[in-house]
Amino acid sequence: MNSTTPLRPGDPSQIGDYELTARLGEGGQGSVFLAAAPSGERVAVKVLRQGLAGPEAGGVSAPGRFLRETEILRRVAPFCTAQVVESGTLDGRPYIVSEYIEGPTLQQVVDAEGPLRDTRLRRLAVGTMTALAAIHRAGVVHRDFKPSNVLLGRDGPRVIDFGIARALDAAATGSGVVGTPPYMAPEQLETATVEPPADLFAWGSTMVFAATGRPPFGMDSLPAVVNRILHREPDLGGLQGDLRELIADCLAKDPSRRPAAREALMRLLGARERPAGTDLLSAGSAVAAGGAAGPRAAPLNVPAAGEITTVPRGDGGRSPSRAWLAGGAVALALASAAMVYGLSTRGGTATAPPRTSAGPPKPVAEVTAAPASKTDDVRLPGLKTTLHENPADPVRLTTVIYTTGKESKGYLRDPASGRFESAGPFQEPLISPDGKWAAVLPWLKDSIPQPYDFIRLIERASERQFIVRLTDKRLQNFNPHWSSDSRRLLLTSFQATTEGRRPVGFAVVDVAGAKASLVTADAQGATGAPFMWAPGETTVAQYYGSGPRAGLRVFDLRGKTVRTIPGVGEAYGTEGAISPAGKSFLTTCPDAYAAMCVWDFATGRRRASFSVPKSYSTIGWFNDAHVMYRDQTKSPQQIVVVDLKGKVARVLADVPSNEVDGAPGRSTHRFTRTPRL
């Protein structure tokens, strides 16, 4: 079911003969409202942001040109489209009234359920191509075909917002580049020419997104995406058969080589000619709807704040192939119209996460044994980094993210085989200490189409997944940390400011209780430092300040400051700095250069200090007597384990120079504490 929100102050209550009852959403073009027609039927009213007041051109006013253009839209036959009912202007702002379609967008479904498979993907392809054939037959070009303009209604897919960009364009300047970069055709980018072949290119890109969770030319920086569209071949993922061939033809650089919508629809229906005695658009609509008894698209269940909901399979009963969770730890600048990629799951639909007896966390026994010396080498796919592991290690590398200015590669470890599998970009996964759960956090927040921030929980044995709504989108949540018993997740809630992100509190996700709680806290002077679990995990800690006066604050789970440890130095990074048993914490020494200090958490006294390379980055604790950091003075660089005197006990990994900070790319290595996966 489509999610609605109440009308805001300043929103109109009436437009023409239509009574506005709620908000359906808001985008770059304007706001969409749910409204009641005089007959009582529900309709969607889109009030466009672009005003039409201004000088007349050629004796025809801008509103007149808009109304003339939108009148053409009413000629589009309602085959797999949301039919336009009427259009008009309100105080110089244009609006369009269309048929109300109940159901989520393709963008939302793929984000929540993962890529579409088999019959469901085929019906989507047939339905959307039927819509384009109907749109083109009426002499209209969509101009902005993309996943968020495809609704998955109960009677099949419906295409919306066709021709609106052209109507606005004609009423304003008569020219200009309109579209969403990852779905724009080469000629659209180079000359702003938009003819029906551009819609076929956008359709091909949208189908690749539906089938793989990503557009065929990537979704990172705008220059990189544009360069791939103009000069590179598309990445079609695992698409096979005639659908792959058709999509490849639609993605031809030369628009003259792309099929027309009618020809493409006949290919999808398995005929080069119109089926005998059957109207082509009617046949396409019937296939898209799956017949009278065919399966219907499941509406997206949008949770309320702090609520958890389950995500059903999106395959109509079949188990899709595994698509590994996305990895990400370094934010990249992205153009508008970015998105967060979804993930697919196997196994049955869940009704709730398994509930366990919460109880207080059990104390963690202190471990100080020296690292085992005998190791096995493990090479990461796609990278030249080599791990040196031993089964007795108290930590295990579970996630690797490699980012450049043009792309992001993530790797997540298979719990059964121990191999690293390729993961999609732009999300941050975190494996629970017991290995039973993976939490996946979108970290390109502005690209999330939902008006709230959320985190996914994936039960790794069954591959069921759950979505927990965290906060409204005005706050952004980062830096997830599992509790030692794998029952809770801690995230830091930030508010965006002109000077960067400012922490304002933290969110606690209770897996067994199926809810998330937002706690505000006085994080004055924290300057972006995240919250982390404090010993006992009934409190949280956060670094504050800079230089010799920097310190550590401890808060209870209501956000009240209960303790301050001043003068211990700055945080070394964003990972948890407290030892596994909770007795010690790490800082950069306040009174020495290139030195690391170890402090007693109970007393605040210094336990140890030791020198580190002039160029290094700390990763965290190996066990309670050993620390891991990356020595950036070596070539290749090394991830090493050192004791609290700074003596190197073992090398954990060799990292080549082209996979480190300051080079063409950056690799981030995340270790999960055992029990083993």
Q: Which string of DSSP letters, residue by residue, matches 187-226?
A: HHHHH----HHHHHHHHHHHHHHHHHSS-TT-SS-HHHHH
Residue 75: its H or E element: none
The residues, ordered by sequence, that sit 6+ positions from 653 with a Cβ below 8 Å of its Cβ are 385, 386, 387, 388, 397, 638, 639, 669
Q: Which string of DSSP letters, residue by residue, matches 641-662?
A: EEETT--EEEEEEEE-GGGSTT
Q: Contact, 525 vs 541, CB < 8 A?
A: no
What is the C-alpha separation between 178 and 166, in angstroms, rounded? 8
Task: Tell me the β-bridge partners of 489.
Answer: 482, 509
Task: Say whether 420 sits in a helix, a strand or coil.
Answer: strand
Exposure of 61 by Cβ count < 10 A (0-12 exposed, 13-18 middle, 19+ buried)?
A: middle
What is the C-alpha separation between 331 and 130, in angstroms, rounded? 39
Q: Within 10 A of 166 (CB to CB), how many other CB atoms are there?
A: 20
What is the C-alpha separation between 44 and 18, in angstroms, rounded? 10
Catalytically active residues are 144
Exposure of 643 by Cβ count < 10 A (0-12 exposed, 13-18 middle, 19+ buried)?
A: middle
What is the C-alpha separation between 637 and 656, in angstroms, rounded? 6
Task: Say whether 579 sits in a helix, a strand or coil.
Answer: coil
Q: Which string of DSSP letters, residue by residue, matches 121-142?
A: HHHHHHHHHHHHHHHHHTT---
Q: Contact, 672 vs 433, CB < 8 A?
A: yes
Q: Contact, 413 vs 398, CB < 8 A?
A: yes
- Cα torsion 251, 253, 254, 255: sign: positive
Tokens (6 digits) for 30: 């304007």
Q: Contact, 294 vs 317, CB < 8 A?
A: no
Count H helices and E strands in the chain, helices first: 10, 34
